[in-house]
Amino acid sequence: MTSLFQRYADDETSDMRIRMPQRVLATTISHYPIDILAGYLEQYLVDPSSVHERYPWAARIVMGMPVPSWARGLEWNAGQKSRFISAVWSGADLGSYLMNSWCESVSAGRALAENSEILIDGQQRLHSLEEYFLDRLAIPDAQGKPRVWSELGDAERKRFLSTIFAHARVSSGDELALRKTYDLCALGVVPRSFDQRAVR
């Protein structure tokens, strides 16, 4: 193996039969402010029962979005949640959260088919935002004093809500493909334990 980097292979040395893994589902990315997520939460809090009617199969609702039964539970402790919210305030890269935009009605009622509009990845981060917005999480201010969301003035709230949190989307009714996508989301950096995987 050569230590010299070559952007493209020399035709004489490349093996055209080698194929690397392919993406499971096509993904699109939009750069939205956290304010969009706050809107989802507001809509949910106004009428939680209608959201539960729409997604009766959801394991839980996070920031107004359904989480499938095959996703891991809420795992982050208070310290991890606080560090994430502090990262938002500090302008760190938040990565992205991933949703499935596919939806299909199951009947004449309000319920959608299982896996419609689910939150696939980002549950821990979005739950941290929800906890913060609902005053269940206090974050140190610039002087180190813990502050909850309701204590903040509009200028600080607007600064936080204008932070970009990339929204990634797939669109599929194929549960196996969605589960595989979920398992790949950790990117090998913090691999999911066997019991946290959706495809076993």
Residue showing tokens 């997604």: 55
Provide the domain count of the chain. 1
- pTM across the whole model: 0.86
**Residue 57 lies inside a defined structural domain of this protein:** yes
**Residue 153 lies inside a defined structural domain of this protein:** yes
d(CA 41, CA 48): 10
Helices (H) and strands (E) in the chain, counts: 6, 8
Quick check: helix, strand or coil at residue 28?
Answer: strand
Angle between helices 123-133 and 78-90 (to 10 degrees): 80
**Residue 53 lies inside a defined structural domain of this protein:** yes
Q: What is the pLDDT of residues 87-113, one digit of tens each?
A: 999 999 999 999 999 888 877 678 999
Higher-confidence residue of 11 and 42: namely 42
H or E, element range at 49 = helix 48-54
**Residue 17 lies inside a defined structural domain of this protein:** no
**Residue 8 lies inside a defined structural domain of this protein:** no
What is the domain range of residue 145? 29-185
What is the average pLDDT value for the chain, to the nearest integer? Answer: 90
**Residue 121 lies inside a defined structural domain of this protein:** yes
Q: What is the pLDDT of residues 73-87, one digit of tens each?
A: 999 999 999 999 999
Q: Is the pLDDT of residue 196 over 70?
A: no
